[in-house]
Structure 1
Amino acid sequence: MHEMSIATAVVEQVDAAAREHGADGVAKVRLQVGELAGVVPSALDFCFELACAGTLVEGAVLETEAVPARAKCSPCGVEWAVGMPPDLGCPHCAGGDVELLAGRELQILGVEWAEDPTGVRADRKG
């Protein structure tokens, strides 16, 4: 299950950033996950919770943004939703010279630090 390695990597990066910024904890982690990234959202949620144990990320909410897969035909310029299972043949000219425009994303979009005892909250986006 590669969702565990993904969750562990995300938690390690966010925990390190929280420590670097002097945050007391993390309230929310936002991830962008492409349709073709091969990630099962429910498995990622489960693994994220396990990976957070004992870190500054423990108790944080994982929010995922799904990115639909899109492709573009190089010869005719037509763009289309690839879908699942992926259809990488051009629906217009039946060509196979295509460019995948979106759908493989797997990145941290943002982190919301937990409020500290003074009520101040810092956000890190990007």
Structure 2
Amino acid sequence: MHEMALCEGIIGIVEEEARNRPFSKVKAVCLEIGVLGHVAPEAMRFCFEAVAARTIAQGARLEIFEMPGIAWCMACSKSAKIRQRYEPCPSCGSYQLQVTGGEEMRVKELEVD
């Protein structure tokens, strides 16, 4: 389950921010996760709760915002939203799509005290 390692990285980011800015408690962590990133939101929530225990983020809400998959079609030169890899272009039906977005995961914001 790679979500556990991802949550450990998130806690590392939170703790680094706590060292750089004066706050003592994290109330919420807001993530943007691309639909093509192979990250299960429910697994992230479960792992985050376990990893955040006994840290500055203990009890914090994990808010996940799903980012769409975006691809550029090499055949018709249009951008399109996609839900998974290897879908055909919705404009022309070609399978020559280059993914340009939707693989990312980032900490968008922290709600702190």
Q: What's the secondary structure of 1:6's corresponding residue?
A: helix
TM-score (norm 1): 0.80
The whole-number CA distance in structure 1 between the counterparts of 2:95 and 2:78 is 10
* Contact 2:27/2:111, CA 8 A, preserved across alignment: yes
Q: CA RMSD in A?
A: 1.6
| Deviations, residues 22-72 of structure 1 (Å, cap 9, x unaligned) | 211111111100001111101000000111111111111111110111211
C-alpha displacement of 1:8: 0.7
Higher relative contact order (CA 8 A, sep 6+): 2
* Contact 1:27/1:61, CA 8 A, preserved across alignment: yes
Q: How does 1:1-126 map to 2 (within 5 A)?
A: 1-84=1-84, 86-91=85-90, 92=92, 94=94, 96=96, 98-114=97-113
The whole-number CA distance in structure 2 between the counterparts of 1:43 and 1:8 is 13
Aligned residues: 112
Q: What's the secondary structure of 1:12's corresponding residue?
A: helix
TM-score (norm 2): 0.88
* Contact 2:75/2:94, CA 8 A, preserved across alignment: no
The whole-number CA distance in structure 2 between the counterparts of 1:23 and 1:76 is 50
| Deviations, residues 94-125 of structure 1 (Å, cap 9, x unaligned) | 252x32122101011111112xxxxxxxxxxx
Amino acid at match of 2:30: R
Q: Structure 1, unaligned stretches of length 5 or more?
A: 115-126
Amino acid at match of 1:82: I
